[in-house]
Amino acid sequence: MSVETESDRETPGRTFPLWALFLLAGTGGLIIGIATILAQGLLPDAVAWPANSGAVWAAAAFVAGAVGAAARPWECAVAGLLTQWGAVIGYYGGTSLMWLGAQDLWAPLVWMAAGAVSGPLFGLAGAVWRKRDGWWRAGAIALLGAVLAAEGVFKLVNHEHFTHMMGTAWTQTLLGPAVPLLLGDGWKGRARALAVLAALIPLGVGVHVLADLAIASG
């Protein structure tokens, strides 16, 4: 007789081949990058924050990992990576085409480097969310919420540079903790995720500071 533990969440069966997962992840990233450009021009300021948010791109990697949860860990990591690189190519490539001008390569290179870290990380987190329980699942959920909240806190801390985005900053900061409440399992799982989220937010703010310095140095 086998005893199932809370970390032994049943793994969903593979529903499509690996090449299809990679194709969907890369294509999805391209679409997100292009949609970011369009949304920035079409959405009113009050609801335009998803079009100017790295957290939204990171969430795409999380979704790719969750969709491919039956794949091996490295495959989920690659799927997450493809969403981020696809988004960078879609955004900066689309911008060059729309304005018919060469773009400075420094910013896209910085975001490609950031995507090389965030893509695999969030791709794995999405797979963990689908396949594991306990603290592992709580940590994956917290990571998704923390990337959103940290972006908002970064803008609040640097409010002198984001005076026109204070509504966005507060929205992101408050939506971050809502992720564990929506995706967590029971109140114990939600409490675990919120505890991890609180620990991750300062780290996320630090990452934003480093990315901002890297882009400014170009």
Same domain, 69 and 169: no
Same domain, 25 and 110: yes
Whole-angstrom distance, CA of residue 96 vs CA of residue 90: 10
Indicate the residue among 131, 165, 184 that finishes a domain. 131
**How does pLDDT run along the chain (218 residues), one tens digit per residue?**
444 444 445 445 556 688 899 999 999 999 999 999 888 878 776 677 787 788 999 999 999 999 988 889 999 999 999 999 999 999 998 887 776 555 678 889 999 999 999 999 999 999 999 999 999 999 999 999 999 999 999 999 998 888 888 888 899 999 999 999 999 889 999 999 999 999 999 999 999 899 888 888 86
Determine phi and psi for 21, rounding to 5 degrees: -60, -45
Tell whether 112 is covered by a domain.
yes
Same domain, 27 and 107: yes
Whole-angstrom distance, CA of residue 34 vs CA of residue 93: 8
Indicate the residue among 131, 164, 190 that finishes a domain. 131
Whole-angstrom distance, CA of residue 42 vs CA of residue 53: 15
> Domain range for residue 85?
16-131
What is the number of domains present in the chain? Answer: 2
Same domain, 147 and 43: no
Same domain, 140 and 70: no
DSSP state letters, 6-46: TT-PPPPPP-S-HHHHHHHHHHHHHHHHHHHHHHHHHS-GG
- pTM of whole model > 0.85? yes
Same domain, 209 and 153: yes
Tell whether 7 is covered by a domain.
no
Tell whether 72 is covered by a domain.
yes
Tens of pLDDT along 138-152? 999 999 999 999 999
Indicate the residue among 108, 131, 154 that finishes a domain. 131
Same domain, 127 and 147: no
Same domain, 172 and 102: no
